[in-house]
Amino acid sequence: MPPTRKFIPTAEWEDERQVRGLEGERLALAYLTSCGYSIEAHRWKMGRHDIDLIVRRGEMVAFVEVKTRRGASCGSPLEAIPRRKQSIIGRVAALWALRFGRRGDVYRFDAIAVHLHPGGRVEVEHIEDAWRM
pLDDT score for 77: 62
The DSSP bridge pattern shows strands 106-116 and 60-69 to be: parallel
From CA 129, how far away is CA 131, in angstroms rounded? 6
Mean pLDDT calculated for residue range 95-124: 93
* Residue of 127, 44, 40 lying closest to 92 (CA atoms): 44
Domains of the chain with bracketed CATH: 16-131 (3.40.1350.10)
Tell me the three state secondary structure of residue 5.
coil
Mean pLDDT calculated for residue range 116-126: 90
pLDDT score for 2: 61
